[in-house]
Amino acid sequence: MHAATRHALFRRLREANPEPRSELEYTTPFELLVAVMLSAHTTDKSVNAATGKLFPIANTPRALVDLGVEGVKPYLRSVGLYNTKSRNLIGLSRQILEHHGGQVPHDRAALEALPGVGRKTANIILNIVFGQAEIAVDTHIFRVANRTGLAPGRTPLEVERALTRNTPEPFRRDAHHWLLLHGRYVCTARAPHCASCILRDLCEYPQPSGATKPAGTRPRRSARRGGG
Ligand code: SF4
């Protein structure tokens, strides 16, 4: 995709949604970290339902450690993999208390050392909480980046690197949210809404039916495993 086209694509996304926001509900950096960690392999809606009950009871590392693994399980039953996520949540809280003074760490290595936290979650925290121009690549962003031709790649990491390279500076901070929301609601996995898509004339996906799926619209299986 030509640089001018990339610029036009992001300009349209910005015009349509000047201040994109996460659909996860949170009020503190720690709550966001917990919500993102819990969102692996489930929907934001089910995470919000769980944290809506959990956070009024415990929304700090200290309170969660006090609650313990068995204490958080009843709140996490709706998010899937709740046994693992409960253990990770308490381990993450303990590590933040013991090594980071109870605060969410602001460097990638420390974030990725937390239980249940992978590169994607670290990028989201670095982007939203600490204002760094990191672009987390989830399944929606992977799909949109490949279909449009914006940042083709065979793995999430390849797409992340291409997006980091190809996203014009003014759009880097919000690129993650624009592409995620576009993938979630317009450029959907099975039947993209090309006819009403604001990017249609810029997009390299075969038109008009969208029935012919180009190679590389899903990450390789091995690249999709692992924690958020
Ligand atoms: S035109 Fe279709 S394939 Fe391209 S971004 Fe829009 S919905 Fe996705």
Instruction: Determine the atom of ligand 1 nearest the C-alpha atom of 200.
Output: 1
- At residue 134, the pLDDT reads 87
Taking only the tens place, the pLDDT of each residue in 115-148 is 999 999 999 999 999 988 888 898 999 999 999 9
pLDDT (mean) for 60-89: 95
Q: Please state the rounded mean pLDDT for residues 48-64.
A: 97
Substitution site in 5, 9, 141, 148 for ligand 1 pocket (most atoms within 8 Å of beta carbon): 148
**How far, in Å, from the CA of 137 to the mean position of ligand 1?**
17
Active-site residue among 120, 174, 201, 213? 120
Confidence band (pLDDT; 50, 70, 90) for 224?
Answer: very low
What tokens were used for 195? 């006819």
CATH number for position 118: 1.10.340.30
Residue 226, pLDDT above cutoff 70: no
pLDDT at 221 over 80: no
pLDDT at residue 202 in the model: 95
pLDDT tens-digit series, residues 167-203: 998 899 899 999 999 999 999 999 999 999 999 999 9
Query: In the listed set 128, 161, 177, which residue is the last one of a domain according to the structure?
Result: 128
**Domain check: are 116 and 158 in the same one?**
no
List the alpha helices (DSSP H) in the chain. 3-16, 29-38, 44-54, 61-76, 82-99, 108-112, 119-128, 139-148, 156-166, 172-185, 221-224
Question: Could you tell me the pLDDT band of residue 67, with boundaries at 50, 70 and 90?
Answer: very high
Tell how far the Cα of 2 is from the centroid of ligand 1, in angstroms. 17
pLDDT over threshold 80, residue 225:
no
- Coil, helix or strand at residue 56: coil
Q: Is the pLDDT of residue 218 over 80?
A: no
In whole angstroms, give the CA distance from residue 189 to residue 146.
12
Taking CB atoms and a 6 Å cutoff, what residues make up the pocket around ligand 1?
144, 147-148, 186-187, 192-194, 197, 199-200, 203, 205, 210
Mean pLDDT across the chain:
89
Top mean pLDDT of 90-104, 122-136, 205-219 is at 90-104
- Both tokens of 95, joined, read 């590590």
- Give the Å distances, CA to CA, from 121 to 32, 39, 179, 188: 10, 9, 16, 22
Range of the domain at 77: 29-128
The verdict on whether 120 is a catalytic residue reads yes
For residue 209, what pLDDT is reported?
54
pLDDT at 133: 85
Out of 53, 73, 138, 174, which one is annotated catalytic? 138
Structural domains counted in the chain: 2
> d(Cα 149, Cα 165) in Å, to the nearest integer?
14
Q: What does the pLDDT read at residue 219?
A: 53
Q: Are residues 119 and 166 in the same domain?
A: no
Answer yes or no: do 187 and 167 share one domain: yes
* Cα 117 to Cα 110: distance, rounded to the nearest angstrom: 10
* Assigned domain for 24 exists: no
**174 is a catalytic site residue:** no
**Rounded Cα gap, residues 69 and 86, in angstroms:** 5
> Of ligand 1's atoms, which has the minimum distance to the CA of residue 192?
7
Give residue 96 CA to ligand 1 midpoint distance, Å: 41
Top mutation candidate among 1, 193, 196 for ligand 1, by most atoms within 8 Å of CB: 193
